[in-house]
């Protein structure tokens, strides 16, 4: 389940507590790209502006979870959150209302689909971006997706000449979330993972989480429990570990041959190894065994589903089970934690590249 080990500079600080991650989500969001507000030219009404609505601005009226939706139904371009596909709608209106408004919408890039309709009249205008598998990036990639965006132009024509053009564009949270919409609906092999909530996309706690991450430049990860799993394992292990692999967005997961519903995709899986781990040595075996047993102890307390000893993507031992413990009949004279006559376990630990721990996909579905 790992893309390969990447050397990480030492030392590394312990990750922030998961609750701190969620509290810091707003700060990360404030650093994300914003849509561009336009300026009216010509004979413009006083205070004239545009406001936008989507199902994700409306849901803030019933779900007040911090950093998940907007507080208001109609918001300016810089606050607008939206996804496209499966007949999702985008609405725009003039404020103050202008019945003589004439609208035109242009997609920014073919990946933004086809606004339908792309023209209209009235104080409020609604369009549906129609998208196909050939327009959306669902072929797998190790690079960041481009934001969906539209150029909105409104003209006032009744006894005046005024024009306002501005751009709406997804921020990085919605770019990431859009991948889950795409992979739920467009490829031949679809995922059943829910579209994550915006508040689950948080600042990466340390550098390892940015390796093999399409959104490393944005310094964000999707977390549905992997940070809590890691914290619990490190508490049991007694020190920090090296993270081999963590969250993978759907595009990267496909690019590396991951299964469609991999727990890495929803931010609920961690592959890790001891710091300074050297495979095939007694010290390495002891460290890997201690980490594996720490993960087994941490699993239940942290809501884990599965712990595996793995070499790359291959499980070396039955999941959620310990390696045979020494006893009077099968002693451990060299104090490596294994029975001296247990050649099978020694081979497994010599070959292991990491310990994997994961949890079930989260509930939700309100944003699907």
Domain boundary assignment for the chain: 18-24+189-358, 33-170
Quote the CA–CA distance of 78 and 52 in Å, as a whole number.
Answer: 10
The pLDDT of residue 1 is 54
**What is the residue-averaged pLDDT of the chain?**
91
Contact assessment for residue 129 and residue 157, using Cβ atoms and an 8 Å cutoff: no
pLDDT of residue 363: 86
pLDDT 10s digits, 142-166: 999 999 999 999 999 887 889 999 9
* Per-residue pLDDT tens digits for 44-56: 888 999 999 999 9
Question: Cis link prior to 29 (omega < 30° from 0)?
Answer: no
Q: 229-280 pLDDT, tens per residue?
A: 999 999 999 999 999 999 999 999 999 998 889 999 999 999 999 999 999 9
Q: How confident is the model at residue 130 (pLDDT cuts 50, 70, 90)?
A: very high
Q: How many CB atoms lie within 10 A of CB 104?
A: 16
The whole-angstrom separation of Cα 286 and Cα 143 is: 37
Using the predicted structure, report yes or no on whether residue 329 has a pLDDT greater than 50.
yes
Tokens standing for residue 349: 């630990």
With H, G, I as helix, E, B as strand and everything else as coil, classify residue 162.
strand
Alpha helices in the chain (DSSP H): 18-23, 25-30, 55-58, 172-185, 226-237, 250-255, 282-301, 343-351
CB atoms within 10 A of CB 283: 12
CA distance 355 to 316: 10
Task: List % helix, strand, coil for the chain (3-state, nearest 5).
Answer: 25, 20, 50
For the segment 163-203, what is each residue's pLDDT rounded down to a tens digit?
Answer: 999 999 999 999 999 999 999 999 888 899 999 999 999 99
CB within 8 A of 347, min separation 6: which ones? none
Q: How confident is the model at residue 6 (pLDDT cuts 50, 70, 90)?
A: very low
**CA distances (Å), 12 to each of 20, 209, 241, 353, in order?**
18, 12, 9, 20
């Amino acid at each position: 389940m790992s893309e390969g080990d990447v050397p990480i500079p030492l030392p590394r600080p312990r990750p922030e507590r998961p609750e701190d991650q969620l509290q810091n989500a707003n700060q990360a969001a404030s650093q994300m790209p914003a849509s561009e507000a336009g300026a009216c030219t010509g004979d413009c009404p006083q205070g004239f502006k545009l406001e936008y609505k989507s199902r994700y601005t409306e849901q803030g009226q019933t779900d007040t979870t911090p950093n998940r939706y907007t507080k208001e139904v109609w918001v300016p371009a810089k606050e607008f959150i939206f996804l496209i596909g499966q007949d999702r709608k985008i609405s725009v209106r003039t404020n103050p209302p202008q019945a003589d408004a004439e609208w035109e919408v242009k997609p920014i890039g073919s990946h933004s689909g086809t606004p339908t309709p792309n023209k209209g009249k009235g104080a409020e205008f609604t369009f549906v971006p129609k998208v196909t598998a050939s327009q959306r990036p669902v072929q797998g990639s190790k690079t960041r997706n481009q934001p969906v965006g539209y150029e909105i132009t409104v003209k006032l024509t009744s006894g005046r000449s005024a024009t306002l053009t501005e751009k709406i564009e997804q921020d990085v949270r919605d770019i990431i979330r859009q991948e889950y919409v795409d992979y739920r609906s467009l490829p031949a092999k679809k995922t059943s993972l829910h579209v994550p909530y915006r508040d689950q996309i948080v600042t990466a706690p340390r550098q390892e989480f940015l390796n093999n991450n399409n959104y490393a430049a944005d310094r964000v990860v999707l977390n549905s429990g992997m940070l809590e799993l890691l914290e619990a394992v490190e508490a049991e292990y007694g020190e920090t570990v090296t993270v081999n692999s963590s969250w993978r967005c759907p595009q990267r997961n496909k690019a590396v041959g991951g299964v469609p519903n991999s727990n890495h995709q929803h931010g609920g899986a961690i592959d890790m190894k001891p710091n300074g781990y050297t495979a095939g040595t007694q010290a390495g075996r002891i460290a890997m065994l201690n980490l594996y047993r720490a993960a087994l102890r941490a699993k239940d307390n942290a809501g884990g589903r599965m712990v595996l000893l793995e070499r790359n993507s291959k499980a070396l031992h039955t999941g959620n089970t310990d390696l045979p413990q020494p006893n009077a009949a099968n002693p451990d004279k060299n104090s490596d934690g294994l029975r001296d006559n247990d050649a099978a376990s020694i081979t497994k630990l010599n070959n292991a590249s990491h310990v994997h721990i994961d949890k079930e996909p989260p509930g939700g579905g309100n944003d699907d």
